[in-house]
Structure 1
Amino acid sequence: MRRIFSTMIALSMLWALQAPASALARDYIYIVGSSTVYPFSTTVAEQYGKTYGFKTPKVESTGTGGGFKLFCAGVGVEHPDISNASRAIKKSELETCAQNGVKEIVEVKIGYDGIVVANSKKAPAVKLTRKDLFMALAAEIPDPKGGTGTVKNPFKTWKDVNPSLPDVKIEVLGPPPTSGTRDAFMELAMEEGALEIASLKELKKSDEKAFKKVAHSIREDGAWIDAGENDNLIVQKLLANPNAVGVFGFSFLDQNTDKIQGAEINGVVPTFESIAAQKYPLSRPLFFYVKKAHVGSIPGIQEFVKEFTEDKAWGPQGYLADKGLIPLPDAERASMRDAARAMKVLAMP
């Protein structure tokens, strides 16, 4: 028995000598995910570092989908502890997490955001509908000549889409497929815009799969340009090209109101108030997700969650509101704070 015990110790020591240092310990929180949540997360990370004395977390802007891919890859210090998200985690992502041993996940809804369609203040302000956005950006649309079925999108200018819009080339700078903002834009703008067209509304009733294929298509002929996960870069490109419009989170509009302006969507301008009241059509919740298995192994995760869920951070007068976060209503915020600090886990599929 003593010989077996000695052999086990020897093997453990050998593994420790051979294992990379990064696999043995990490003394900081590692966060990935949404570019929209990124500025909120980095602000909390800085305050957390000052308040609690832990190392400032490492925060990477990978996009929501890219973040979940990293987050769900496994448990252990080589994998992220937290994933920011500008949409709720999908069932398929939860299944991937579970398959890789990530079986306890804490969901924290942090507030609301609006997806804005914005342009440079050097150009006239734009008034759009969700139908306009679908007809301008979908890869296929109902035949404008009245035929049955759909055709490849023939529109070149906004005026082609709607005679009341400017005679300017359709050029939209937006997030890539890995982005939660892209996912939310497809659901809130493209799909809802498609439903404003009678033939597509009927298609959804008869064949939802076929409807989704049309509603969630995006042109690949230059009208839509994937501009990466850096929303600040989209803002800079809008300043260089006043004819273009960009799609990104409200916080980036809020931080650049001297340079860019948000388009009116279905008669509602994107403002703090219209998003908070859920009147702005392209409003969506924001989240971060915690890997509970890492709590206690990686120092400071509970303290980071505590800092994020303090009213001084995410409340109506908090420092994140100054960055453009739209706070949760008081009762929902209190309920979410209690659940987050108790590390209440999501039900897994």
Structure 2
Amino acid sequence: MRSTKTIIFAAASVLALSACGGSGSSGGGARDFVRGVGSSTVYPFATAVAEAYAKSSGSKSPVIESTGTGAGMKLFCAGVGAQHPDIEDASRRIKKSEYEECQKNGVKEIVEIQVGIDGIAFAESKSGPGFQLTPADIYKALAANPFGKPNTAKTWKDVNPSLPAEPILVYGPPSTSGTRDALKELILEAGCKTDAATAALKDSDKDKYEATCHDIREDGPYVDAGENDNLIVQKISQNSKAIGIFGYSFLEENPDSLKGIPMSGITPTYATISDYTYPGARPLYIYVKKQHLAPIKSLQGYVAEWVKSWGKDGLLQKKGMVIAPEDVRAKSADIAAKMTPLDPAGLK
């Protein structure tokens, strides 16, 4: 099930978008509002900043779409011009292949700004059995072919004798989601590498290594819940035997119905995500199309509103975002002020 959410804070925004036209390296055409796409995890923060910006500036409020990080990157990198998004919200870093696609389509200058930190939270109902999991448990439960063999595990006890004999039922993000990418890279791969022979494939057969470590089973235990983290919250709230995977802010917003599941003995909390001791901690980003700064007059102001909002006790922390360390915030503020383009050298 896939749900694409769009918040339109100004009623005329959609009409204005359809009236815009033009493309090309100058960012042709005009639009009197900002358009952002991307991560469902970043979505509630992006919309909060959009509301604050509209209120403080008197400008039309940005239109923010929750498409998932991967799908958002495709839209963002499709070209330059008023028909294309100005900002991509991302729960992971842009990939080298995505950057190259942007370049191919004329999106030459991309500004990368880290706006905060989040964690891939594993959660269960308050009435759940009290799971205590490790990356290896998650990998053995959800991988399509754990350690190269078809996954036959039906219950958590099949995965680890110390776990409950409950059916494996995990609601999680779709393949277009940055949270799904982070799940694979931070949790599944960590579990996969506990087997020395499989870990060795990274050097000898990279394609086989990635398939073995990253592919998720499709026979029922893992349920793709679409780009709708609130749906996952509802599902696990109503089923004490189910587990949900989503951004930490959704766990923090539902303390009466959900509880976090410790990963390797570390519970997802603001503190453990902030210091990266929780295994699922990850940075959050926005990507700005620099070529749109001139034609989209409110774009710079919207980015500046992010800077105003991400500090200690600021709007975003109140909304559940884990704020980045002071030095990271200072660096991000400098990039936002100067609109310094991303150096792609470190992309993977």
Fold shared, TM-score > 0.5 on shorter chain: yes
Which shows bigger deviation, 264-273 or 192-201?
Answer: 192-201
Secondary structure of 2:75's partner?
Answer: helix
The residue that corresponds to 1:331 in the other structure is 327
After superposition, the C-alpha distances for 1:25-45 in whole angstroms (9 at most, x for unaligned) are 321100100000000000000
The residue that corresponds to 1:66 in the other structure is 71
Secondary structure of 2:211's partner?
Answer: helix
Specify the code of the residue in structure 1 equivalent to 2:32. Answer: D
2:294 alignment partner, one of 288, 293, 296: 296
Measured at CA, do residues 323 and 125 of structure 1 come closer, stay the same or move farther in structure 2, by a change above 3 Å? farther
Preserved contact between residue 103 and residue 348 of structure 1 (Cα < 8 Å): no
The residue that corresponds to 1:279 in the other structure is 277
After superposition, the C-alpha distances for 1:41-87 in whole angstroms (9 at most, x for unaligned) are 00000000011111010000000001110011111100000010000
| Percent identical | 52
1:35 alignment partner, one of 37, 40, 46: 40
The residue that corresponds to 1:345 in the other structure is 341
The residue that corresponds to 2:128 in the other structure is 123
Counterparts of 1:208-287 in structure 2 under 5 Å?
A: 208-287=206-285
Distance (whole Å) between structure 1 residues aligned to residue 124 and residue 109 of structure 2: 42
What's the C-alpha RMSD, in Å, of the aligned pairs? 1.2
Distance (whole Å) between structure 2 residues aligned to residue 99 and residue 208 of structure 1: 26
1:314 alignment partner, one of 310, 313, 336: 310
Counterparts of 1:107-256 in structure 2 under 5 Å?
A: 107-142=112-147, 150-256=148-254
Preserved contact between residue 129 and residue 240 of structure 2 (Cα < 8 Å): no
After superposition, the C-alpha distances for 1:100-126 in whole angstroms (9 at most, x for unaligned) are 110011101011100011111121221
Distance (whole Å) between structure 2 residues aligned to residue 210 and residue 26 of structure 1: 46
Preserved contact between residue 48 and residue 303 of structure 1 (Cα < 8 Å): yes
1:22 deviation in Å?
2.5
Preserved contact between residue 129 and residue 266 of structure 1 (Cα < 8 Å): yes
Distance (whole Å) between structure 2 residues aligned to residue 78 and residue 94 of structure 1: 19
Distance (whole Å) between structure 2 residues aligned to residue 130 and residue 49 of structure 1: 42
The residue that corresponds to 2:110 in the other structure is 105
Which shows bigger deviation, 320-329 or 268-277?
Answer: 320-329
The residue that corresponds to 2:14 in the other structure is none
Distance (whole Å) between structure 2 residues aligned to residue 245 and residue 191 of structure 1: 19
Which shows bigger deviation, 201-210 or 218-227?
Answer: 201-210
Secondary structure of 2:124's partner?
Answer: strand
Specify the code of the residue in structure 2 equivalent to 1:140. Answer: N
Specify the code of the residue in structure 2 equivalent to 1:346. Answer: L
Structure 2, unaligned runs of 5 or more: 1-17, 22-28
1:164 deviation in Å?
1.0
Distance (whole Å) between structure 2 residues aligned to residue 203 and residue 31 of structure 1: 39
Preserved contact between residue 172 and residue 224 of structure 2 (Cα < 8 Å): yes
Preserved contact between residue 254 and residue 323 of structure 1 (Cα < 8 Å): no
Preserved contact between residue 142 and residue 216 of structure 2 (Cα < 8 Å): yes
Preserved contact between residue 131 and residue 197 of structure 1 (Cα < 8 Å): no
Specify the code of the residue in structure 1 equivalent to 2:315. Answer: Y
Q: TM-score, normalised by structure 2?
A: 0.90
Q: TM-score, normalised by structure 1?
A: 0.90
Distance (whole Å) between structure 1 residues aligned to residue 332 and residue 149 of structure 2: 46
Distance (whole Å) between structure 2 residues aligned to residue 208 and residue 347 of structure 1: 26
Preserved contact between residue 269 and residue 280 of structure 1 (Cα < 8 Å): yes
Q: How many residues align?
A: 321
Structure 1, unaligned runs of 5 or more: 1-19, 143-149
1:56 alignment partner, one of 47, 50, 61: 61
Distance (whole Å) between structure 2 residues aligned to residue 71 and residue 290 of structure 1: 9
Distance (whole Å) between structure 1 residues aligned to residue 205 and residue 293 of structure 2: 45
Runs of 4 or more off by more than 6 Å in structure 1?
Answer: none
Secondary structure of 2:149's partner?
Answer: strand
Preserved contact between residue 125 and residue 262 of structure 1 (Cα < 8 Å): no
Secondary structure of 1:127's partner?
Answer: coil
